[in-house]
Structure 1
Amino acid sequence: MDETDLKILQAIASLGTHSPSKVQEETGIPESTIYYRLDKLREKGIIKNDLYDLDNEKLGLGITIIVEVVATYKEGYHHKIGEKLSEIEGVSQVHFTMGERDFVVIAHVPDRKGVERLISDFESVDEVQRTQSKYTITTIKNEPRVVNTYSIESLISTLSTNNELED
Protein backbone atom coordinates (compact mmCIF):
# COMPACT_ATOMS: atom_id res chain seq x y z
CA MET A 1 0.00 0.00 0.00
CA ASP A 2 1.31 3.45 -0.87
CA GLU A 3 0.24 7.08 -0.89
CA THR A 4 -1.79 6.61 -4.09
CA ASP A 5 -3.77 3.79 -2.48
CA LEU A 6 -4.40 5.94 0.58
CA LYS A 7 -5.60 8.87 -1.55
CA ILE A 8 -8.00 6.56 -3.40
CA LEU A 9 -9.32 5.07 -0.14
CA GLN A 10 -9.76 8.48 1.41
CA ALA A 11 -11.62 9.76 -1.67
CA ILE A 12 -13.93 6.72 -1.62
CA ALA A 13 -14.60 7.27 2.07
CA SER A 14 -15.30 11.00 1.77
CA LEU A 15 -17.37 10.72 -1.44
CA GLY A 16 -19.30 7.68 -0.26
CA THR A 17 -18.81 6.00 -3.64
CA HIS A 18 -16.26 3.77 -5.30
CA SER A 19 -17.00 5.17 -8.77
CA PRO A 20 -13.60 5.48 -10.50
CA SER A 21 -14.75 8.56 -12.45
CA LYS A 22 -15.77 10.38 -9.26
CA VAL A 23 -12.58 9.29 -7.48
CA GLN A 24 -10.60 10.54 -10.49
CA GLU A 25 -12.35 13.93 -10.29
CA GLU A 26 -11.52 14.15 -6.59
CA THR A 27 -7.89 12.98 -6.76
CA GLY A 28 -6.64 13.55 -10.29
CA ILE A 29 -5.47 9.92 -10.38
CA PRO A 30 -6.19 8.29 -13.78
CA GLU A 31 -9.23 5.99 -13.86
CA SER A 32 -7.17 3.06 -15.17
CA THR A 33 -4.89 3.38 -12.14
CA ILE A 34 -7.92 3.57 -9.84
CA TYR A 35 -9.42 0.38 -11.34
CA TYR A 36 -6.08 -1.41 -11.00
CA ARG A 37 -5.48 -0.22 -7.42
CA LEU A 38 -9.05 -1.09 -6.32
CA ASP A 39 -8.62 -4.63 -7.67
CA LYS A 40 -5.33 -5.00 -5.77
CA LEU A 41 -6.88 -3.61 -2.56
CA ARG A 42 -9.74 -6.13 -2.87
CA GLU A 43 -7.25 -8.98 -3.41
CA LYS A 44 -5.38 -7.94 -0.25
CA GLY A 45 -8.65 -7.83 1.72
CA ILE A 46 -8.33 -4.12 2.49
CA ILE A 47 -11.58 -3.42 0.62
CA LYS A 48 -14.13 -5.90 1.93
CA ASN A 49 -17.23 -5.04 -0.09
CA ASP A 50 -19.08 -2.46 -2.16
CA LEU A 51 -22.10 -1.99 0.10
CA TYR A 52 -23.96 1.29 0.34
CA ASP A 53 -24.41 2.94 3.73
CA LEU A 54 -28.01 3.10 4.88
CA ASP A 55 -29.86 5.65 7.03
CA ASN A 56 -31.04 3.64 10.06
CA GLU A 57 -33.56 6.29 11.06
CA LYS A 58 -35.22 6.29 7.64
CA LEU A 59 -35.30 2.48 7.82
CA GLY A 60 -37.24 2.73 11.09
CA LEU A 61 -34.29 1.60 13.20
CA GLY A 62 -33.44 4.97 14.71
CA ILE A 63 -32.92 3.99 18.34
CA THR A 64 -29.30 3.13 19.07
CA ILE A 65 -28.66 1.16 22.24
CA ILE A 66 -25.22 0.71 23.79
CA VAL A 67 -25.13 -2.32 26.07
CA GLU A 68 -22.28 -3.20 28.43
CA VAL A 69 -22.28 -6.91 29.26
CA VAL A 70 -20.73 -8.78 32.18
CA ALA A 71 -20.40 -12.50 31.48
CA THR A 72 -19.37 -15.63 33.35
CA TYR A 73 -15.63 -16.19 32.89
CA LYS A 74 -14.42 -19.45 31.35
CA GLU A 75 -11.44 -20.26 29.17
CA GLY A 76 -12.12 -18.91 25.67
CA TYR A 77 -15.52 -17.57 26.76
CA HIS A 78 -15.25 -14.39 24.73
CA HIS A 79 -15.62 -16.24 21.40
CA LYS A 80 -18.59 -18.33 22.49
CA ILE A 81 -20.48 -15.54 24.22
CA GLY A 82 -19.51 -12.98 21.58
CA GLU A 83 -21.06 -15.23 18.92
CA LYS A 84 -24.25 -15.60 20.96
CA LEU A 85 -24.50 -11.82 21.41
CA SER A 86 -23.84 -11.33 17.69
CA GLU A 87 -26.84 -13.49 16.80
CA ILE A 88 -29.32 -11.26 18.65
CA GLU A 89 -31.54 -9.42 16.21
CA GLY A 90 -30.60 -5.75 15.88
CA VAL A 91 -27.03 -6.17 17.14
CA SER A 92 -24.57 -4.59 14.71
CA GLN A 93 -21.35 -4.59 16.76
CA VAL A 94 -19.91 -6.75 19.54
CA HIS A 95 -16.61 -5.76 21.16
CA PHE A 96 -14.74 -7.88 23.71
CA THR A 97 -13.23 -5.33 26.09
CA MET A 98 -10.84 -4.88 28.98
CA GLY A 99 -12.04 -3.49 32.30
CA GLU A 100 -15.12 -4.06 34.42
CA ARG A 101 -17.33 -5.01 31.46
CA ASP A 102 -16.60 -7.97 29.21
CA PHE A 103 -18.42 -6.77 26.10
CA VAL A 104 -19.76 -3.58 24.60
CA VAL A 105 -22.59 -4.18 22.16
CA ILE A 106 -24.19 -1.71 19.77
CA ALA A 107 -27.73 -2.40 18.57
CA HIS A 108 -30.35 -0.56 16.53
CA VAL A 109 -34.05 -1.03 17.24
CA PRO A 110 -37.27 0.62 16.04
CA ASP A 111 -38.98 1.51 19.33
CA ARG A 112 -39.36 0.85 23.08
CA LYS A 113 -40.72 -2.63 22.43
CA GLY A 114 -37.58 -3.31 20.44
CA VAL A 115 -35.51 -2.22 23.42
CA GLU A 116 -37.47 -4.52 25.73
CA ARG A 117 -37.04 -7.44 23.32
CA LEU A 118 -33.32 -6.72 23.01
CA ILE A 119 -32.77 -6.72 26.78
CA SER A 120 -34.84 -9.89 27.12
CA ASP A 121 -32.69 -11.55 24.45
CA PHE A 122 -29.53 -10.58 26.34
CA GLU A 123 -30.98 -11.99 29.56
CA SER A 124 -31.74 -15.29 27.82
CA VAL A 125 -28.02 -15.91 27.20
CA ASP A 126 -27.04 -18.17 30.11
CA GLU A 127 -23.50 -16.79 30.46
CA VAL A 128 -24.66 -13.16 30.73
CA GLN A 129 -24.60 -12.13 34.39
CA ARG A 130 -25.84 -8.58 33.95
CA THR A 131 -26.13 -5.75 31.46
CA GLN A 132 -26.12 -2.00 31.59
CA SER A 133 -27.85 -0.27 28.69
CA LYS A 134 -27.78 3.27 27.43
CA TYR A 135 -30.10 4.99 24.97
CA THR A 136 -28.40 7.25 22.49
CA ILE A 137 -30.28 10.55 22.49
CA THR A 138 -28.33 12.22 19.69
CA THR A 139 -25.55 10.82 17.56
CA ILE A 140 -22.88 13.50 17.24
CA LYS A 141 -20.56 11.48 15.02
CA ASN A 142 -20.98 8.13 13.33
CA GLU A 143 -18.22 7.73 10.77
CA PRO A 144 -18.26 4.15 9.48
CA ARG A 145 -15.17 4.81 7.35
CA VAL A 146 -12.33 5.16 9.85
CA VAL A 147 -10.00 6.50 7.16
CA ASN A 148 -12.12 9.70 7.16
CA THR A 149 -11.03 10.41 10.73
CA TYR A 150 -7.34 10.77 9.76
CA SER A 151 -5.41 13.16 7.58
CA ILE A 152 -3.49 11.68 4.64
CA GLU A 153 -0.27 12.70 6.39
CA SER A 154 -1.17 10.74 9.52
CA LEU A 155 -2.06 7.66 7.48
CA ILE A 156 1.20 7.81 5.55
CA SER A 157 3.16 8.32 8.77
CA THR A 158 1.42 5.38 10.46
CA LEU A 159 2.02 3.05 7.55
CA SER A 160 5.63 4.20 7.25
CA THR A 161 6.21 3.63 10.96
CA ASN A 162 4.70 0.15 10.70
CA ASN A 163 6.81 -0.58 7.58
CA GLU A 164 3.67 -1.22 5.54
CA LEU A 165 4.15 1.61 3.05
CA GLU A 166 5.64 0.46 -0.23
CA ASP A 167 7.80 2.71 -2.36
Structure 2
Amino acid sequence: MMELDEIDRKILRALAEDATQNAGALGRCLGLSQPATWRRIKRLQDSGVITGRKLDLDYEKLGFGVTVFLGVKLATKGRVSLEDFERAVTAIPEVQTVEHVLGLFDYRLRVTARDIADFERVLRRRIMTLPGIGDVEANVLLSEERRPGPLG
Protein backbone atom coordinates (compact mmCIF):
# COMPACT_ATOMS: atom_id res chain seq x y z
CA MET A 1 0.00 0.00 0.00
CA MET A 2 1.34 3.39 -0.99
CA GLU A 3 1.78 6.03 1.71
CA LEU A 4 -0.30 9.10 0.88
CA ASP A 5 0.34 12.53 2.34
CA GLU A 6 -2.27 15.27 2.64
CA ILE A 7 -1.38 16.78 -0.75
CA ASP A 8 -1.86 13.38 -2.43
CA ARG A 9 -5.26 13.10 -0.75
CA LYS A 10 -6.22 16.61 -1.92
CA ILE A 11 -5.22 15.71 -5.48
CA LEU A 12 -7.29 12.52 -5.34
CA ARG A 13 -10.32 14.35 -3.91
CA ALA A 14 -10.07 17.02 -6.61
CA LEU A 15 -9.72 14.45 -9.42
CA ALA A 16 -12.58 12.36 -7.98
CA GLU A 17 -14.74 15.49 -8.20
CA ASP A 18 -13.55 16.47 -11.70
CA ALA A 19 -11.10 14.17 -13.50
CA THR A 20 -10.82 16.56 -16.45
CA GLN A 21 -8.66 19.02 -14.51
CA ASN A 22 -5.14 19.41 -15.86
CA ALA A 23 -2.07 19.55 -13.63
CA GLY A 24 -1.72 23.33 -14.03
CA ALA A 25 -5.25 24.16 -12.89
CA LEU A 26 -5.13 21.57 -10.13
CA GLY A 27 -1.76 22.88 -8.93
CA ARG A 28 -3.07 26.47 -8.79
CA CYS A 29 -5.94 25.32 -6.55
CA LEU A 30 -3.54 23.45 -4.25
CA GLY A 31 -0.70 25.98 -4.23
CA LEU A 32 1.65 23.73 -6.23
CA SER A 33 3.50 24.27 -9.48
CA GLN A 34 2.30 22.47 -12.60
CA PRO A 35 5.41 20.22 -12.75
CA ALA A 36 5.12 19.26 -9.06
CA THR A 37 1.43 18.45 -9.47
CA TRP A 38 2.10 16.47 -12.65
CA ARG A 39 4.85 14.42 -10.90
CA ARG A 40 2.49 13.59 -8.03
CA ILE A 41 -0.30 12.54 -10.41
CA LYS A 42 2.18 10.45 -12.41
CA ARG A 43 3.43 8.78 -9.20
CA LEU A 44 -0.17 7.99 -8.19
CA GLN A 45 -0.80 6.49 -11.64
CA ASP A 46 2.45 4.51 -11.71
CA SER A 47 1.74 3.05 -8.26
CA GLY A 48 -1.76 1.96 -9.34
CA VAL A 49 -3.65 4.29 -6.99
CA ILE A 50 -5.12 6.06 -10.04
CA THR A 51 -6.13 3.37 -12.52
CA GLY A 52 -7.86 5.53 -15.11
CA ARG A 53 -10.28 8.35 -15.69
CA LYS A 54 -13.86 7.64 -16.68
CA LEU A 55 -16.47 9.48 -18.64
CA ASP A 56 -19.62 9.98 -16.57
CA LEU A 57 -22.75 9.93 -18.73
CA ASP A 58 -26.24 11.10 -17.80
CA TYR A 59 -28.20 8.09 -19.02
CA GLU A 60 -31.55 9.80 -18.49
CA LYS A 61 -30.59 12.60 -20.90
CA LEU A 62 -29.55 9.92 -23.39
CA GLY A 63 -33.04 8.39 -23.25
CA PHE A 64 -32.41 5.67 -20.66
CA GLY A 65 -34.82 6.58 -17.86
CA VAL A 66 -34.75 3.33 -15.88
CA THR A 67 -31.88 1.79 -13.93
CA VAL A 68 -32.38 -1.57 -12.28
CA PHE A 69 -30.03 -3.49 -10.01
CA LEU A 70 -30.34 -7.23 -10.45
CA GLY A 71 -29.20 -9.81 -7.95
CA VAL A 72 -28.41 -12.98 -9.91
CA LYS A 73 -27.95 -16.42 -8.41
CA LEU A 74 -26.57 -19.02 -10.79
CA ALA A 75 -28.63 -22.22 -11.03
CA THR A 76 -25.75 -24.66 -10.65
CA LYS A 77 -22.23 -23.39 -10.33
CA GLY A 78 -20.77 -26.70 -11.52
CA ARG A 79 -22.72 -26.74 -14.79
CA VAL A 80 -21.63 -23.40 -16.15
CA SER A 81 -18.36 -21.69 -15.48
CA LEU A 82 -18.32 -18.22 -13.99
CA GLU A 83 -16.26 -17.11 -17.00
CA ASP A 84 -18.99 -18.30 -19.41
CA PHE A 85 -21.63 -16.37 -17.49
CA GLU A 86 -19.46 -13.25 -17.25
CA ARG A 87 -18.58 -13.35 -20.95
CA ALA A 88 -22.26 -13.68 -21.92
CA VAL A 89 -23.58 -11.01 -19.55
CA THR A 90 -20.92 -8.43 -20.48
CA ALA A 91 -22.00 -8.77 -24.12
CA ILE A 92 -25.41 -7.27 -23.27
CA PRO A 93 -25.15 -3.52 -23.96
CA GLU A 94 -27.79 -2.57 -21.37
CA VAL A 95 -25.73 -4.18 -18.59
CA GLN A 96 -23.53 -1.36 -17.27
CA THR A 97 -21.71 -3.19 -14.47
CA VAL A 98 -21.17 -6.82 -13.52
CA GLU A 99 -20.03 -7.42 -9.95
CA HIS A 100 -19.17 -10.88 -8.60
CA VAL A 101 -20.31 -10.70 -4.97
CA LEU A 102 -20.44 -12.79 -1.83
CA GLY A 103 -23.79 -13.29 -0.16
CA LEU A 104 -27.32 -14.21 -1.18
CA PHE A 105 -26.53 -13.68 -4.88
CA ASP A 106 -23.54 -14.56 -7.03
CA TYR A 107 -23.66 -11.41 -9.15
CA ARG A 108 -25.00 -7.88 -8.99
CA LEU A 109 -25.80 -6.23 -12.33
CA ARG A 110 -26.59 -2.60 -13.09
CA VAL A 111 -28.96 -2.49 -16.07
CA THR A 112 -30.16 0.62 -17.90
CA ALA A 113 -33.22 0.70 -20.13
CA ARG A 114 -35.38 3.29 -21.87
CA ASP A 115 -38.40 2.47 -19.71
CA ILE A 116 -39.93 -0.43 -17.75
CA ALA A 117 -41.22 -2.11 -20.94
CA ASP A 118 -37.72 -1.94 -22.44
CA PHE A 119 -36.25 -3.37 -19.22
CA GLU A 120 -38.77 -6.23 -19.32
CA ARG A 121 -37.67 -7.00 -22.90
CA VAL A 122 -33.99 -7.02 -21.88
CA LEU A 123 -34.77 -9.19 -18.86
CA ARG A 124 -36.86 -11.77 -20.76
CA ARG A 125 -34.91 -11.97 -24.01
CA ARG A 126 -31.33 -11.41 -22.90
CA ILE A 127 -30.75 -11.87 -19.18
CA MET A 128 -33.07 -14.80 -18.47
CA THR A 129 -31.54 -16.72 -21.40
CA LEU A 130 -27.96 -16.45 -20.06
CA PRO A 131 -26.06 -19.69 -19.38
CA GLY A 132 -26.55 -20.88 -15.81
CA ILE A 133 -29.09 -18.21 -14.84
CA GLY A 134 -31.07 -19.10 -11.72
CA ASP A 135 -32.86 -16.77 -9.32
CA VAL A 136 -33.05 -13.06 -10.17
CA GLU A 137 -34.16 -10.21 -7.92
CA ALA A 138 -34.74 -6.72 -9.31
CA ASN A 139 -34.48 -3.38 -7.51
CA VAL A 140 -35.42 -0.24 -9.44
CA LEU A 141 -33.23 2.80 -8.76
CA LEU A 142 -35.32 5.73 -7.50
CA SER A 143 -32.52 8.23 -6.88
CA GLU A 144 -28.76 8.26 -6.57
CA GLU A 145 -26.22 10.35 -4.74
CA ARG A 146 -22.63 9.74 -5.77
CA ARG A 147 -19.84 10.03 -3.26
CA PRO A 148 -16.13 10.09 -4.10
CA GLY A 149 -15.31 7.53 -1.40
CA PRO A 150 -13.11 7.53 1.68
CA LEU A 151 -9.77 9.29 1.29
CA GLY A 152 -9.11 9.72 4.99
Structure 1 residue runs without a partner (length 5+): 155-167
Where in structure 2 are the equivalents of 1:111-130 lying within 5 Å? 111-120=115-124, 121-130=126-135
Partner of 1:69: helix, strand, or coil?
Answer: strand
* 1:161 matched residue in structure 2: none
Equivalent pairs counted in the alignment come to: 147
Q: Which amino acid aligns with 1:126?
A: P
Distance of aligned partners of 1:50 and 1:126 in 2 relative to their CA distance in 1, 3 Å threshold: closer
Q: Which amino acid aligns with 1:127?
A: G
Distance of aligned partners of 1:55 and 1:40 in 2 relative to their CA distance in 1, 3 Å threshold: same
The answer as to whether partners of 1:123 and 1:130 remain within 8 angstroms in 2 is no
Report the Cα offset of residue 75 of structure 1. 8.1
Report the Cα offset of residue 44 of structure 1. 3.2
Give CA deviations for 1:108-149 in whole Å, capped at 9, x if unaligned. 11122320222121111130012111211222x134xxxx23
User: Which 4+ residue blocks in structure 1 deviate beyond 6 angstroms?
Assistant: none
Distance of aligned partners of 1:98 and 1:52 in 2 relative to their CA distance in 1, 3 Å threshold: closer
Partner of 1:46: helix, strand, or coil?
Answer: coil
Structure 2 residue runs without a partner (length 5+): none
* 2:48 matched residue in structure 1: 45
The TM-score with structure 2 as length reference comes to 0.82
Distance of aligned partners of 1:116 and 1:75 in 2 relative to their CA distance in 1, 3 Å threshold: closer
* 2:143 matched residue in structure 1: 138
Q: Which amino acid aligns with 2:8?
A: D
Q: Which amino acid aligns with 1:115?
A: F
Distance 1:21 1:64 in 2: 37
Q: Which amino acid aligns with 2:40?
A: R
Distance 2:31 2:105 in 1: 47
Distance 1:51 1:103 in 2: 23
Larger mean CA deviation between 50-59 and 114-123 belongs to 50-59
Distance 1:28 1:75 in 2: 58
Distance of aligned partners of 1:99 and 1:52 in 2 relative to their CA distance in 1, 3 Å threshold: closer
* 1:5 matched residue in structure 2: 8
Distance of aligned partners of 1:78 and 1:21 in 2 relative to their CA distance in 1, 3 Å threshold: same
Larger mean CA deviation between 17-26 and 115-124 belongs to 17-26
* 1:159 matched residue in structure 2: none
Larger mean CA deviation between 111-120 and 57-66 belongs to 111-120
The answer as to whether partners of 1:91 and 1:107 remain within 8 angstroms in 2 is yes
* 1:62 matched residue in structure 2: 65
Give CA deviations for 1:5-32 in whole Å, capped at 9, x if unaligned. 3221111112343322331233222211
2:99 equivalent among 91, 95, 98: 95
State the identity %: 22
Partner of 1:149: helix, strand, or coil?
Answer: coil
* 1:81 matched residue in structure 2: 85
What RMSD in Å do the two structures reach over aligned CA positions? 2.2
